[in-house]
Structure 1
Amino acid sequence: MRAWVPTILRSLLLLVLIAFLVSPESFEPLLKPLVQPNAPAIYNQGSLLSLTLLHLRTVFIATLAATIIAVFLAILVTRPFGAEFLALSRSLVNIGQTFPPVAVLALAVPAVGFGEKPTLIALFLYGLLPIFENTLTALTNLPRSVMEAARGSGMTPFQRLIQVELPLSLPVIVAGIRLSVVISLATATIGSTVAAKTLGEVIIAGLQSNNLAFVLQGGLIVGALAVLIYDGLSAIEAMIARRTGAA
Structure 2
Amino acid sequence: MRPGLVIRLLVLGLLVAFIFAPGAFGWAFAPLNRPNQPPIYTQSSLLRLTLSHLGIVLGAVLAASIVAIGLAIVVTRRAGEDFLPLSRSLANIGQTFPPVAVLALAVPILGFGNGPTFVALFLYGLLPIFENALTGLTATPPAVREAARGMGMTGWQRLVGVELPLALPVILAGVRLSIVISLATATIGSTVAASTLGEVIIAGLLSNNIAFILQGGLIVAVLAVLIYDGLSAIERRLGRRGGAPLPAA
Return the alpha-carbon distance in structure 2 between the equivalents of residues 78 and 145 of structure 1: 17
1:175-218 alpha-carbon deviations (Å, 9 max, x no partner): 11000000000000000000000000000000000000000000
1:140-170 alpha-carbon deviations (Å, 9 max, x no partner): 1111211110011111111111111001111
1:245 aligns with 2:243: yes
2:145 to 144, 147, 162: 147
Return the alpha-carbon distance in structure 2 between the equivalents of residues 117 and 74 of structure 1: 26
Return the alpha-carbon distance in structure 2 between the equivalents of residues 155 and 70 of structure 1: 25
Tell me how far 1:38 sits from its aligned partner.
1.1
Aligned counterparts, 1:83-98, within 5 A: 83-98=81-96
Return the alpha-carbon distance in structure 2 between the equivalents of residues 98 and 33 of structure 1: 42
Tell me how far 1:111 sits from its aligned partner.
0.9
Counterpart in the other structure of 1:42: 40
Counterpart in the other structure of 2:115: 117
Tell me how far 1:5 sits from its aligned partner.
2.2
Counterpart in the other structure of 1:25: 23
- Normalising by structure 1, we get a TM-score of 0.97
Return the alpha-carbon distance in structure 2 between the equivalents of residues 141 and 61 of structure 1: 28
- Normalising by structure 2, we get a TM-score of 0.96
2:183 to 161, 182, 185: 185
Counterpart in the other structure of 2:73: 75
Counterpart in the other structure of 2:162: 164
Letter in 1 for 2:112: F
Letter in 2 for 1:77: V
Deviating beyond 3 angstroms after TM superposition, the runs of 4 or more aligned structure 1 residues are none
1:62-92 alpha-carbon deviations (Å, 9 max, x no partner): 0000000000000000001100000000000
Letter in 1 for 2:192: V
Ranges in structure 1 where 5+ consecutive residues have no aligned partner: none
Residue 228 of structure 1 aligns to a residue in which SS? helix
1:216 to 198, 214, 217: 214
Tell me how far 1:245 sits from its aligned partner.
2.1
Tell me how far 1:239 sits from its aligned partner.
1.6
Return the alpha-carbon distance in structure 2 between the equivalents of residues 55 and 202 of structure 1: 12
Return the alpha-carbon distance in structure 2 between the equivalents of residues 31 and 158 of structure 1: 56
Q: How many residues align?
A: 244
Tell me how far 1:236 sits from its aligned partner.
1.2
Letter in 1 for 2:80: G
Letter in 1 for 2:126: L
CA RMSD of aligned residues (A): 1.0
Counterpart in the other structure of 2:247: none
Aligned counterparts, 1:56-75, within 5 A: 56-75=54-73
Letter in 1 for 2:105: L
Letter in 2 for 1:66: A
Tell me how far 1:8 sits from its aligned partner.
1.5
Return the alpha-carbon distance in structure 2 between the equivalents of residues 53 and 243 of structure 1: 33
Tell me how far 1:9 sits from its aligned partner.
1.4
Return the alpha-carbon distance in structure 2 between the equivalents of residues 210 and 44 of structure 1: 16
Return the alpha-carbon distance in structure 2 between the equivalents of residues 65 and 180 of structure 1: 12
Please say which of residues 149-158 and 193-202 is displaced more in the overlay: 149-158
1:99 aligns with 2:93: no
Please say which of residues 118-127 and 18-27 is displaced more in the overlay: 18-27
Tell me how far 1:233 sits from its aligned partner.
0.7
Letter in 1 for 2:31: P
Return the alpha-carbon distance in structure 2 between the equivalents of residues 192 and 97 of structure 1: 20
Tell me how far 1:241 sits from its aligned partner.
1.4
Return the alpha-carbon distance in structure 1 between the equivalents of residues 36 and 100 of structure 2: 34
